[in-house]
Structure 1
Amino acid sequence: MPTPSPFETQTAAYDDWFDANDGVYRTELAALECALEDVAVDADTQALEVGVGTGRFAAPLDIPVGIDPAQSPLERATDRGVSTARGVVESLPVADNALNLLLFVTVLSFVDDLEAALQEARRVLASDGTLVIAILDRASPGGQVYQEHKDEDPFYADAEFLRADEVCTALEEAGFTVEQRLQAVFGDPTEIDADAEPDVREGHGDGLFAVIRADPTGV
């Protein structure tokens, strides 16, 4: 029998992390908001977060629908006003060219086939759609620490942390044009003050939290 996912069995601990690390959480949200600044998200937007978890990003970003392979986190996402369904990134329950916006927040570290995941994203996005990806950048100083100690964390023990530059290359190979690169969470995340102004910068390589916005190529 497969070992249950820690996201399924330790949902409360996962969800509580965002409250205990509010400064990091607000900074990550700010980076995503910067990436979405020119993207209209309203009642008519067909938007989806893949790997929605407990809805900590979808809800404040007004992403109406989220999918996740784990049922327990989805119950909390539903409580936060997100419509949910079980599903995985490699096989999205979405018609071709149906979405205006697709959001992946740290989910790509858990996929078995990055190429297949990005090709699936390309399939479901409309020609004028937008893909926003956030990862914990392995090339950053903070990412190197996460990589070294990931086996000590039940949620990241099975993760394969990616570099922002390799994700950008994979996006281009999957039929996307990278439009924006942002980074946040510099230095030791535990030292980020909950009341501090979020620090979001262009580029990647220094910040642990890397955000990449890409559009389908050839539109």
Structure 2
Amino acid sequence: MATAHPFETLTDEYDNWFETNNEAYRAEQAALERILPDESPSADNHALEIGVGTGRFAAPLGLSIGLDPARSALERARNRGVDPVRGVAESLPFADGELDLALFVTVLCFVDDLEATLSEAHRVLGDDGTLAVAVLDRSSAVGRVYQEHKDESPFYADAEFLTGEAACRELERAGFVIEDRGQTVFEDPATLDSETTPFREGHGDGLFAVIRASPAP
């Protein structure tokens, strides 16, 4: 019998992390706000978070649609005002060029096929579309701790953490042009306060690395 995925069975534990680590969550949300296009997402421009989970990012960032394989997580996302779509990143149920904005938040480390995932994101974005990505950067000091202890976590045991630099290379290989990069969360998320969560350019020092890219012309 297949084992149920922890994001399906431990939804409360996942969602509560954002309450327990509120300063890290605020810093991550602020980093995504910095990296997203100047035009705010809206229900009119087909903005999708792929791997939306419980909607902790899509809802405050104004993304109207959220895709995830976990039913219980999608129910939370719906309660936060996100239109839920059940599916997987490797096979998106959207037409070619249908979306203006797609977002991955710490999802690429969980997908079964990274190449197919990025190919699908490229396919569903319009020529002027934007892809925003956040990864847990394993080259950062905190990321190295996550990597070392990932087998102790029900959520990260099967994760394949990327570096920010590797994520950029994979995006370029998939036909994207990197437009902007940044990072935040430079200490253990549990110890952060509002004075220790700056946003910096580049990658390599912050656990939470963000990237904005667009389909190559």
SS class of match (2:128):
strand
Partner of 1:213: 212
Alignment of 1:34-73 (within 5 A): 34-73=34-73
Q: In the TM superposition, what whole-angstrom CA distance separates every residue of 1:60-104 from its partner, at most 9, and x where no partner exists?
A: 001011010110111111110111011110000000000000000
Partner of 1:20: 20
SS class of match (1:16):
helix
What value does the CA root-mean-square deviation take over the aligned residues?
Answer: 1.1
Q: Give the partner amino acid of 2:202.
A: G
CA–CA distance in 1 between the matches of 2:131 and 2:10?
29
Partner of 1:199: 198
Q: In the TM superposition, what whole-angstrom CA distance separates every residue of 1:37-74 from its partner, at most 9, and x where no partner exists?
A: 52432342111000000000000001011010110111
Q: Give the partner amino acid of 1:201.
A: R
CA–CA distance in 2 between the matches of 1:165 and 1:38?
24
Deviation at 1:167, TM superposition (A): 1.1
Partner of 1:84: 84
Deviation at 1:164, TM superposition (A): 1.0
Partner of 1:164: 164
CA–CA distance in 1 between the matches of 2:40 and 2:26?
21
Q: Alignment identity in percent?
A: 62
CA–CA distance in 2 between the matches of 1:142 and 1:39?
32
CA–CA distance in 2 between the matches of 1:37 and 1:99?
14
**How many aligned residue pairs are there?**
217
CA–CA distance in 2 between the matches of 1:58 and 1:42?
11
Q: Give the partner amino acid of 1:217.
A: A
Q: In the TM superposition, what whole-angstrom CA distance separates every residue of 1:134-188 from its partner, at most 9, and x where no partner exists?
A: 0100111111100000011101111110111111111111110000011000022
Q: Give the partner amino acid of 1:16.
A: N
CA contact (8 A) 1:30 1:198 kept: no
Runs of 4+ in structure 1 displaced over 3 angstroms? 195-198
Partner of 1:180: 180
Q: Give the partner amino acid of 1:124.
A: V
Partner of 1:121: 121
SS class of match (1:211):
strand
Unaligned runs of at least 5 residues, structure 2 = none
